Structure 1
Amino acid sequence: MFIRKDFKYEPNQIGDIIWGNAESRLRIEDIVSGAEALPYCGKSAILLYGVFGTGKTTLAKMLPNAIEKGRSGESLGFEAEFIGCQQGFNGPQVMTLIERILSKTSFNASGLHYFILDEVDNLSSLAQQSLKSALNTDRGIFILTTNNISELDKGLKDRCVLVEMNAAPVSSYLPLAKSLISDMGIVMSDIDLLPTISAANGSLRNLIRNVERLARRNKGVL
């Protein structure tokens, strides 16, 4: 189910994510349920990677609370630490922030701290190496996102569970597109919608914009 907010549909829970492949969905479900343990065997992070607009950041923000509930049955006591990675964000800054949080006692029921590092490919090579060292912990879980996995340090990737988030089959977006045009009072066939969905290339932002424009055109607004 999608919730309409300010003319945008946003996933309200992990089950709302439009997955590019079944393996990615199953892997996230296993991590949330605890079937795939984190931290474990040198891995303390989830790396969500793929093209723009597929919901990586949205999913990243959902995961800490979902994982905590799966582990302890309770919601997070505190919000996950969100770090929007920027050009020039250097290694000492990364390490100081993470070490400062990890040095404190977590009041979550699991005893774990949670970190979200968005667009981690913006970090310099030295910063990525510092982050790689920070991931050598059993006191926290990290969720990383990137549009450019090829630009990440190999050692950093090796400490992550990799979850691909690329475009789903075009037909997977039909329920969202049809709900959107229905809200606008328009009825269109799947055949008419599919080319517009395809042109979005997996970006939910582009899909919503394109479908709304198509609906307005059919409504005679444009």
Structure 2
Amino acid sequence: MVLDYINDRDLKPLILHGGVGTGKTTIANLLPDAIEGKKAEVTRLKAVEFSSVTDVTEVFGGPPMFYKLFTTNDQKRNYIISNEINFTPKAAIAFRDVIDDMIGHTQFIFTTNYIDQVDIALRDRSNCLAVPPVTAKDWLSRAQWILQQEGIALPDDQLLKILTTQLQVSSSNRKLLERPEDFVRSVRNPPNNPGGIIELAPTPEPINPLMAA
């Protein structure tokens, strides 16, 4: 579905939904650049602040705005990104009209953790794309890279176990990437060396802390 936007085959608003930390905002931020093939100018909204029709009309009401008629910097489209689009019912009704009015030139990209709480008519106007949690294998190479930058060697199966354990606690990508960093700190600052004093060799060999004993 994302490729349809990049290849100009779809102009409908895009709603990215899924659990906390699954990468929805990252996708939303990268998509305009991918569509344009260059750094795109983006307007960012805080949809949680739209609680009434007045809130919406203050931003989008009045005479036709420039970006309703033209794009900036010769872009293919204008871009509006907003996180957590759980509008109040009245604000949602007003925002439907905004989308209908601007969809010809403006790409709306929304994110939410709670798709069921998004206005049903807004969902009907949009493509709703679920962003699922990653698997431990998806992040294995990145986690290994983090450890290697610190001169720490750990077999894939042992690192996968660490990542899998974290995913059982939380599906957040942010939390998952913190695990290798926490592991590095635990190696660099073991309980018997709380100050983290390390003697550095000129050309240190990678170490496997699980085999150090």
Count of residues in Structure 1 that have an aligned counterpart in Structure 2: 183
Aligned to 2:30: 62
1-side partners of 2:143 and 2:125: how far apart?
Answer: 37
Deviation at 1:220, TM superposition (A): 4.3
2-side partners of 1:94 and 1:188: how far apart?
Answer: 53
- Cα pair 1:186 1:219 within 8 Å, conserved: no
1-side partners of 2:50 and 2:75: how far apart?
Answer: 34
Deviation at 1:98, TM superposition (A): 3.5
Alignment of 1:124-139 (within 5 A): 124-136=88-100, 137-139=103-105
Deviation at 1:104, TM superposition (A): 5.3
2:131 is aligned, of 137, 140, 165, to 165
> Secondary structure at the residue paired with 1:187?
coil
Percent of residue pairs bearing the same amino acid type: 25
> Secondary structure at the residue paired with 1:166?
coil
Distance 1:125 1:133, change over 3 A: same
Q: CA RMSD in A?
A: 2.3
1:51 is aligned, of 1, 15, 19, to 19
Deviation at 1:125, TM superposition (A): 2.4
Aligned to 1:37: 10
Deviation at 1:87, TM superposition (A): 5.0
2-side partners of 1:196 and 1:91: how far apart?
Answer: 49
Aligned to 1:22: none
| Higher relative strand content | 1
Alignment of 1:178-217 (within 5 A): 178-198=144-164, 199-200=166-167, 201-217=170-186
Aligned to 2:48: 86
Which moves more between the two structures, 171-180 or 209-218? 209-218
Which residues of structure 2 form unaligned runs of 5+? Answer: 192-213
Deviation at 1:153, TM superposition (A): 1.1
Deviation at 1:150, TM superposition (A): 1.0
Q: TM-score, normalised by structure 2?
A: 0.75
Deviation at 1:28, TM superposition (A): 1.0
> Secondary structure at the residue paired with 2:45?
strand
Aligned to 2:81: 116
Which residues of structure 1 form unaligned runs of 5+? Answer: 1-26, 39-43
> Secondary structure at the residue paired with 1:141?
strand
Deviation at 1:191, TM superposition (A): 2.0
How big is each residue's C-alpha offset from its partner over 1:7-60, in whole Å with a ceiling of 9 and x where there is no partner?
xxxxxxxxxxxxxxxxxxxx21222122x321xxxxx31111111112211221
1-side partners of 2:176 and 2:190: how far apart?
Answer: 19
Q: Check if 1:151 corresponds to 2:117.
A: yes
- Cα pair 1:87 1:124 within 8 Å, conserved: no
Distance 1:111 1:176, change over 3 A: closer
- Cα pair 2:36 2:76 within 8 Å, conserved: no
Question: Whose radius of gyration is greater, 1 or 2?
Answer: 2
1-side partners of 2:55 and 2:66: how far apart?
Answer: 13
Aligned to 1:13: none
Distance 1:55 1:125, change over 3 A: same
